[in-house]
Structure 1
């Protein structure tokens, strides 16, 4: 068993006085008098209690981010070797989302997997252009479809 004894803590009234449990009224009054009336006295004693924190708009912990959504706008082609994806943010603050998509051939084989972090404004959308890279320009015509994971993970 642990027993703690507390002694010598002030009442925290903010007037600069420090009174112990053993102090008398005159000692407390003398302490008030010694700090003077000016609010800028550097020798004023500080309250030793911990105030209960109060919620304030600037100090609140933000709610966890909700995941967004990703929607394919257009797939890559020979004329335009990029897929365009729109990422939506359901949150009340700006966030960065990870979206994932794949470029597939006519047989369903994944030719390229593309993952990107996309910054999106609060309650807004952002367009991401995913380049067809790594398969060579001669193989872009082999892309039959693009698939986008509809869930965009909220990162930060």
Structure 2
């Protein structure tokens, strides 16, 4: 009879240990709680467990109150995102390359604009229309939106069709100014 009593006690202690380690409560009321409420409750949603991950110092801790063990989960702090810092960074100017000069047949100059920035940007491009002496007959500016780290082709109308019969060549400002 003495051996049977020890077996029952051992089985009870073993069952209580398994329940405690797996997070289940025995239904006892506890006097200690991080959230200020007392009482056990069953299953994994016991109020004696610490579910507040924003104020815990991290790691898994163990303690004992009234014979039961309380464990808390490791804490994970959120990492700051870089949403506002990306928009605050100033834009770099792009590059402009003349692909085709305006002519009597087609009064538009074609310019390729490249964006070195990691976000879409608006660029201002300037083309000068020169005669055979190198004097500027007229110049035009235009804007184009270019995707992040991409390129766009811009067709710019000549300042006036009256200059096309005296036009010798076009010169584009190699710097496309970032506007936003």
Fold match (TM-score > 0.5) = yes
Q: What do you get for the CA RMSD once the two structures are aligned?
A: 1.8
CA distance in 1, matches of 2:101, 2:155: 10
Give the equivalent residue in structure 2 for 1:28: none
CA distance in 2, matches of 1:150, 1:130: 15
Give the equivalent residue in structure 2 for 1:142: 166
Conserved? CA contact 2:122–2:143, under 8 Å: yes
Normalising by structure 1, report the TM-score.
Answer: 0.60
Normalising by structure 2, report the TM-score.
Answer: 0.53
Q: Which is richer in helix?
A: 2
Match of 1:56 among 66, 71, 81: 81
Paired residues, number: 103
TM-superposed CA distance for 1:95, in Å, is 0.2
Deviations 1:109-148 (A, max 9, x none): 2111111121100111111111113352xx4121100000
1:152 lines up with 2:150 in the alignment: no
DSSP-derived class of the 1:142 partner: coil
TM-superposed CA distance for 1:60, in Å, is 2.9
Conserved? CA contact 1:111–1:135, under 8 Å: no
DSSP-derived class of the 2:118 partner: coil
Give the equivalent residue in structure 2 for 1:50: none
Q: Which has the higher contact order (CA 8 A, sep 6+)?
A: 1
CA distance in 2, matches of 1:61, 1:68: 18
Which structure has the larger Rg?
A: 2
Deviations 1:63-88 (A, max 9, x none): 21111000000001111111100100
Which consecutive unaligned segments of at least 5 residues does structure 2 have? 1-35, 38-78
Which consecutive unaligned segments of at least 5 residues does structure 1 have? 1-31, 34-53
